[in-house]
Structure 1
């Protein structure tokens, strides 16, 4: 039962943070930045926020900008959610989309080799 509650809280935090990203004025947070997943601890003290950035070269810079804006994001998140504690936000770059693209490319290469090189 508690895991259902944590799951709903994770989804709500993800939704609110996605909306709040547009209000961050830090110039390092630019381009296509999206929140892919949120993982909150059971005591709701910490929330690990996985961030995907379209341009991978800017990923580390975007994470630094989000960490810098963490206090603002946490305060606004606390206003939007009715929780006893607003979790501390820990931002982490998510490269799962790149890994998925790489795996699809490998599978397509294998398929081309099996069919004799014809696309």
Structure 2
């Protein structure tokens, strides 16, 4: 019963801390070009966030190539080299287990653009600017 109580909550402090460590390390590895894949080393990839599973054995990295161009090619290159990336990341971290890396396209910027577009609509701006009738 107690497990159900905690399952609806967000990630733990440990998950957040480990996710951020993996994000920084993965970003560093990709920026330095430590991977032995010329296609991947010529790409500039942003690692926006890393979410870990509760047991810290799976880490999902939200990535996007610079400018958002060739996103699928970047994702394919990362997935092709996930074993080497896992080894490079785990070498720099002091975790009991090297987490399995999974890569997903980061759609945060797309959602932000859509939100800005919605807020810029005349009807929404009119509703926001309208005086509060309850006051």
TM bucket, shorter chain:
0.7 to 0.9
In structure 2, runs of 5+ residues without a counterpart are 1-10, 127-135
Provide the C-alpha distance between the structure 2 equivalents of 1:5 and 1:14, rounded to a whole number of angstroms: 14
Map of 1:3 onto structure 2: 12
Is 2:25 aligned against 1:16? yes
Task: Please identify runs of 4+ aligned residues in structure 1 that moved more than 3 A.
Answer: 28-32, 54-57, 111-114
Provide the C-alpha distance between the structure 2 equivalents of 1:110 and 1:56, rounded to a whole number of angstroms: 29
**Normalising by the residue count of structure 1, what TM-score does the alignment of the two structures yield?**
0.82
Map of 2:5 onto structure 1: none
Whose relative contact order is higher, 1 or 2, with alpha carbons under 8 Å and at least 6 apart? 1
Cα deviation for residue 106 of structure 1 reads 2.7
Map of 2:53 onto structure 1: 41
Map of 2:7 onto structure 1: none
CA contact (8 A) 1:29 1:65 kept: no
Q: Structure 1 pair 78/112, CA: closer, same or farther in 2 (3 Å)?
A: closer
Provide the C-alpha distance between the structure 2 equivalents of 1:82 and 1:29, rounded to a whole number of angstroms: 25
RMSD: 2.3
Cα deviation for residue 56 of structure 1 reads 3.6
Aligned residues: 113
SS in 2 for 1:49: strand
For residues 20-77 of structure 1, give each alpha carbon's deviation from its aligned partner in whole angstroms, at most 9, with x where no partner exists.
1121334156444211111111111111111123444411110000011111110011
Provide the C-alpha distance between the structure 2 equivalents of 1:28 and 1:47, rounded to a whole number of angstroms: 20
Map of 1:68 onto structure 2: 80
